[in-house]
Amino acid sequence: MNVIPSFTMRCAITLSLCVILCNLAHAAATEKPNVVLIYADDLGWGDVGYHGVDDIDTPNIDRLAAGGVHFTQGYVSASVCGPSRVGLMTGVYQQRLGAGENPNSNGFPEEPHFPFAGCPRSQPLLSEMLKPHGYRCGAVGKWHLGLNLTMRPLARGFDSFYGFLNGAHDYERALPKFTKNKSLWPLFRDDKKQPAYEGYLTDTFSDEAVRFVEQNSDSPFFLYVAYNAVHHPWQVPPKYLKRVKHLSDSEDRRFFAAMVLAMDDGIGRIVSAIDEAGAADRTLIFFISDNGTPRGQGLVHAPKDNRKERGGCTMSSPGPFRGFKGDTFEGGIRVPFLMHWPARIAAGQRYELPVSTLDVVPTVLAQLGAAQPTKGFAPDGVDLMPFLEGKREGERPHDVLLWRRDSDYAIRAGDWKLAWNDHSCKAGSRAMLFNLADDPGEYNDLSHSQPEIARKLQTQFDAWDRRLPPSHCWGVPFNRKPPEDRSTQLTRDEDAQILTVDRAILHGHVMQKGDDVISHWRESTEWIEWQLTAAASGPHHVVLDYAAPHSSIAQVGIGRVEKTARLPERRDWGDTAEQVVARVHLQAGRSYRLTIKPSDQWRAINLHRVILRKE
């Protein structure tokens, strides 16, 4: 006998199902989310389909964007690989940590010039912040946050690692030992060097990521997938090339599209593994590129043209924006950036206000009720969820964003942006001013027509920048304003004649002269001289006021005196101190020529001044 439920019973059953589904959705939204952070390498703004590009095929990335939110003004904190990763993984402006440049790997492993270059242990990574909350943490792919054993993934909160340590790698081969050719350096599983490798790294990294999801889906996990795709070298299996024949008439662009497609396939497999584990609703996925399009492109690899500011892109594309990787123009720092979390983020969102990779850490921590790490700096980013859920409608996540990489810098306040780039601005020239609301392509420099706005932004940037420590590997940018108390301190040395940076004559093209420092003096063929008239007669000590986290040897000459001077190492690039390098007898009113030339054992220093101190 068939029994047909009554209307009341059917309503009760329907209501019960609704309650169950609501409870499941609420549980997925409130329990600790899995976090998957996918970081592409050198992928430009114009290299994903969801940005309206039709000569690139990224169906899986596009589905993530359609099922969540993509940010039209998503920024990285740095325009090159290493420092971009420091900002991403700490939530802190990497310049505050002395990590504003790519970590220098010269001399590794026998005699590393900078053994602790990378992200300092004093500032925890996201993996270290998540461990106390019961997360299993896995890293796959490119590391580039430090070569020293104490700075590798397993020492920084990760339970597992498969990948390489340096900044770039061959896709098809790896050797089991460190060699002169860094692109063939070993692959690591955890802390162990792996046997010689042959394959395709993009596919292998996807395999490793899928395996991590399958093995850890029963507990909250953090998976960091840092593809080296689509960084040079240009390598891709034929199976991917066959699938992109229809996309472009350009062989270069098709080849690049095939490399992107390999990564997109892998991302699709990772998402499928999450779905099959029943973890989709409780998994927060980020997809971001580490910086913008590189200048040097082409299967026939042409030399980089540093004068190029837009166009001429045969492989990666910055889209409609000016500038490239390494610049603080939009093309170097505005990148593909999306979030996907079905339980909390409504599908199909397009968020128009500026956000930053500095926001990743505070966004994740906020879901665990943790406002900031237990040590180090508090994050400079913000939790993005209230902005995406309409709880802070009408507010901007950031009133101000700042960038500094070497001599290039920028500040964005609202829609106004002030930018100085060494390929576009001469030393001593003013920074360029743009209104990004009207001119996102940065065509029209308004610094002359809007001098007050430019001056205000420059003052605001300098107030932040002058407090930053020197970079571990590169020292102080030549165009950084000195600390407010140092410019007067330099003139208080009684019984001494000060030879300041502004009077120095530089013989070389790499070294740079700033207000208070000669930096980038790393080439042994470059040297400095001063022309001077002695202020006093008698014996004088020649004193160099410098900083360098290593020792060096220089040749110092004045008059007929030539001395070989050993310059002892300092604690770091911020540890400026004086060193007597020669003794000379001077005659008041007589002209002299003082020279400082590197020896064969030269290592870079930052020189702040030379002092002729009377005995």
- Model confidence over 57-68: pLDDT tens digits? 999 999 999 999
Q: Band of the pLDDT at 313, cuts 50, 70, 90?
A: confident
> Residue 295: which CATH number?
3.40.720.10
Which of 438-447, 476-485, 491-500 is predicted most confidently?
438-447
Q: How far is CA 75 from CA 372, 454, 583, in A?
A: 21, 21, 53
SS3 444: coil
Q: Band of the pLDDT at 163, cuts 50, 70, 90?
A: very high
CA angle (119 as vertex; 113, 125 as ends), nearest 5: 155
Q: How far is CA 530 from CA 153, 481, 500, 610, in A?
A: 48, 22, 9, 9
Distance, CA of 145 to CA of 123 (rounded, Å): 12
Q: Band of the pLDDT at 11, cuts 50, 70, 90?
A: very low
Nearest of 123, 113, 127, 120 to residue 37 by alpha carbon: 127
Q: Does the structure show a pLDDT above 90 at 95? A: yes
Question: Per the structure, how many domains does the chain have?
Answer: 3
Q: Which DSSP state fits 600?
A: T
pTM greater than the 0.85 cutoff: no
Q: Band of the pLDDT at 9, cuts 50, 70, 90?
A: low
188: left (phi over 0), alpha (psi -120 to 50) or beta: beta
Residue at 51 is within a domain = yes
Residue at 13 is within a domain = no
Q: Which residue is it, tokens 């904190």?
A: 77
Which of 244-253, 489-498, 502-511 is predicted most confidently?
244-253
Tokens describing residue 441: 């392509």
* Whether residue 412 sits in one domain with residue 384: no
Residue at 579 is within a domain = yes
In terms of residues, how long is the chain? 615
The DSSP-derived string for 7-33 is HHHHHHHHHHHHHHHHHHHHHHHHSPP
Tokens describing residue 6: 């009554």
What is the C-alpha R_g of the chain? 27
Q: Band of the pLDDT at 548, cuts 50, 70, 90?
A: confident
Residue at 476 is within a domain = no
Average pLDDT, the chain: 90
Distance, CA of 175 to CA of 193 (rounded, Å): 9
* Whether residue 117 sits in one domain with residue 197: yes
Spacing of C-alpha 471 from chain mean position:
13
Distance, CA of 209 to CA of 201 (rounded, Å): 12
* Whether residue 610 sits in one domain with residue 531: yes
Distance, CA of 539 to CA of 85 (rounded, Å): 52
Residue pair 558/532 in contact (Cβ under 8 Å)? The answer is no
* Domain end among 398, 433, 451: 398
Query: Torsion angle of alpha carbons 273, 277, 278, 284, nearest 10°?
Result: -60
Q: Does the structure show a pLDDT above 80 at 209? A: yes
Task: Show Cβ contacts of residue 443 under 8 Å, excluding neighbours closer than 6 positions.
Answer: 322
By residue range, what is the domain housing residue 423? Answer: 402-465
Residue at 366 is within a domain = yes
SS3 386: helix
> Residue 516: which CATH number?
2.60.120.260
- Dump pLDDT digits (tens) for 515-531: 788 988 988 899 999 99
Neighbouring-strand partners of residue 74 = 355
* Whether residue 406 sits in one domain with residue 393: no
Residue pair 33/219 in contact (Cβ under 8 Å)? The answer is no
Distance, CA of 198 to CA of 175 (rounded, Å): 9
Query: Torsion angle of alpha carbons 58, 64, 70, 74, nearest 10°?
Result: -70
14: left (phi over 0), alpha (psi -120 to 50) or beta: alpha
Distance, CA of 323 to CA of 330 (rounded, Å): 6
* Domain end among 398, 420, 448: 398
* Whether residue 445 sits in one domain with residue 358: no
Tokens describing residue 122: 């004093």
Residue pair 244/258 in contact (Cβ under 8 Å)? The answer is yes
Backbone phi and psi for residue 184, each to the nearest 5 degrees, phi listed first? -110, 15
* Whether residue 166 sits in one domain with residue 301: yes
- Dump pLDDT digits (tens) for 328-375: 999 999 999 999 999 999 999 999 999 999 999 999 999 999 877 888
* Whether residue 196 sits in one domain with residue 58: yes
* Whether residue 497 sits in one domain with residue 434: no
Backbone phi and psi for residue 510, each to the nearest 5 degrees, phi listed first? -90, -45
Residue at 8 is within a domain = no
Neighbouring-strand partners of residue 410 = 403, 419
Work out the end-to-end distance of the chain between its first and last CA atoms, rounded to an integer number of angstroms: 116
Distance, CA of 93 to CA of 97 (rounded, Å): 8
The DSSP-derived string for 434-491 is EETTT-TT-----TTT-HHHHHHHHHHHHHHHTTSPPBTTTB--TTPPPPTTHHHHTT
Tokens describing residue 296: 């040097």
**What pLDDT does 564 receive?**
92
* Domain end among 351, 369, 398: 398
Residue at 19 is within a domain = no
Distance, CA of 580 to CA of 610 (rounded, Å): 10
Average pLDDT over residues 528-557: 91
Spacing of C-alpha 535 from chain mean position:
47
- Dump pLDDT digits (tens) for 241-264: 999 999 999 999 999 999 999 999
Q: Does the structure show a pLDDT above 50 at 1? A: no
Q: Band of the pLDDT at 493, cuts 50, 70, 90?
A: low
* Whether residue 263 sits in one domain with residue 364: yes
Lowest mean pLDDT among 173-182, 277-286, 389-398, 513-522: 513-522
With b meaning 16 or more CB within 10 Å and e meaning fewer, what string describes 506-515? beeeebbbbe
Task: Determine what percent of the chain falls in helix, strand and coil, rounding each to the nearest 5.
Answer: 25, 25, 50
- Report the share of the chain in percent with pLDDT over 90: 72
* Whether residue 427 sits in one domain with residue 389: no
> Residue 426: which CATH number?
3.30.1120.10
Residue at 187 is within a domain = yes
Q: What is the residue type of 8?
A: T
* Whether residue 406 sits in one domain with residue 303: no
**What pLDDT does 5 receive?**
53
Residue pair 97/467 in contact (Cβ under 8 Å)? The answer is no
Task: Show Cβ contacts of residue 611 under 8 Å, excluding neighbours closer than 6 positions.
Answer: 493, 496, 497, 498, 499, 541, 542, 543, 544, 545, 578
Distance, CA of 237 to CA of 171 (rounded, Å): 10
* Whether residue 410 sits in one domain with residue 361: no
